Amino acid sequence: MSARLELENVSHRYGNDAPALEKLSLAVEPGELVALLGPSGCGKTTALKVVAGLLRPTAGDVRVDGRSVVGTPPERREAAMVFQKPLLFPHMGVTENVGFGLRMRGARKEEAGRKADEALRRVRMEGFAGRSPGELSGGQQQRVALARALVTEPRLLLLDEPFSALDANLREEMRDLVLRLQREGGHTTVFVTHDQEEAVVLADRIALIFDGRLQMYDCPEAFYDRPATREVARFFGATNFIDGRANDGSVRTPLGDLRLEGTAPPGEVTLTIRPEAVRLEGGENSFRARVSSTSYLGTQVHYELRAAGTTLRAALPPHVRLAVGDEVTARLPATSLWVLDRRF
């Protein structure tokens, strides 16, 4: 049965260094898959180790189904962790590696072997049971490590960038596998990654962390459509920021008065719109612009547009071919404009 995980004002400091985590609070619902996302060194692996019991927080609480586990040793937390490297025992075969945790819990050899075989079947490695870790590829070793985590039937599954060392094709294959296993087993899962695409593909919700602080916690779509701050928007690929003054459902900008779909509090604001949402057409929120640069990326062409001293980037289908110096009519649909508080 899956568990509800809560972190309340969790902080952690290594020695006299700056805090690796600072007042991190979030809840993961039973059966939910949450990605801890952020650049290297932001504190996401520290948070995972605190949940696993490998680190004790400097301050704050970690609760599982409402019960604090801060003083509970790792082996009693009903959690299993998969690391960046598989960390398999080289002197044991695949089956022995997978069943090791069960044997440490007192399971008989026959029972551990049977459950290990079932876990290997789940990760589609049943044909490799008799091999040693040295005979496996990196992707196969990581599957075995995943089977070793699943065989104990954990209530919490913790994954620390387990695919970062794999090539692109293997990463995609392993993502699909993890998603299937998580949905089948209903494990409450926390997944650490610095890969934005990986987080979006896998997660029900994303916790974005910068410098040990939670920046935004929401579903993947919200990071694209409703970013909390300019930095969050930029991290998710938004490059268009337009300063202006909001008043009565529109924002006065150098590009003209841009209508919003919703309302914004009066005053200085910053608008953001994703490059792929910029349209080359007339109508509401349109203006004349000139192409200042082009970049062909295969599935898209990125154009830089200049208008009224403002630079915008548009990502358009490859059949739209423009040249530097071309004059166009661009439109920023009200449904795609999002208002950021300029204080942040």
The rounded distance, in Å, linking the Cα atoms of 334 and 304 is 20
Q: For the chain, which domains are there?
A: 5-225 (3.40.50.300), 239-341 (2.40.50.140)
* Phi-psi category of residue 122: left, alpha or beta, with phi > 0 → left and psi -120 to 50 → alpha: alpha
DSSP state of 112: H
Single-letter residue type at 301? V
The rounded distance, in Å, linking the Cα atoms of 334 and 293 is 25
- For 9-49, give the DSSP string: EEEE--TTSPPSEEEEEEEE-TT-EEEEE-STTSSHHHHHH
Check residue 342 and give its pLDDT. Answer: 65
The 3-state DSSP composition of the chain as helix, strand, coil percent (nearest 5) reads 30, 35, 40
Check residue 15 and give its pLDDT. Answer: 84
The rounded distance, in Å, linking the Cα atoms of 241 and 205 is 25
The answer to whether the pTM exceeds 0.85 is: yes
The rounded distance, in Å, linking the Cα atoms of 39 and 26 is 19
Check residue 285 and give its pLDDT. Answer: 97
CA 312, distance to chain mean position in Å, is 27
Residues 6+ apart with CB under 8 A from 297: none
Counting DSSP H helices and E strands in the chain, the numbers are 8, 19
* Residue 85: closest CA among 163, 151, 149, 157: 163
Phi, psi of 26, rounded to the nearest 5 degrees: -165, 160
Phi, psi of 306, rounded to the nearest 5 degrees: -115, 130
The rounded distance, in Å, linking the Cα atoms of 10 and 113 is 39
* Residue 287: closest CA among 270, 306, 301: 306
The rounded distance, in Å, linking the Cα atoms of 309 and 303 is 16
Give me the average pLDDT of each 10-residue run along the chain (344 residues).
93 88 97 95 94 96 96 90 87 88 80 87 86 88 89 91 78 84 89 92 96 96 92 90 90 95 87 95 97 94 96 95 96 94 62
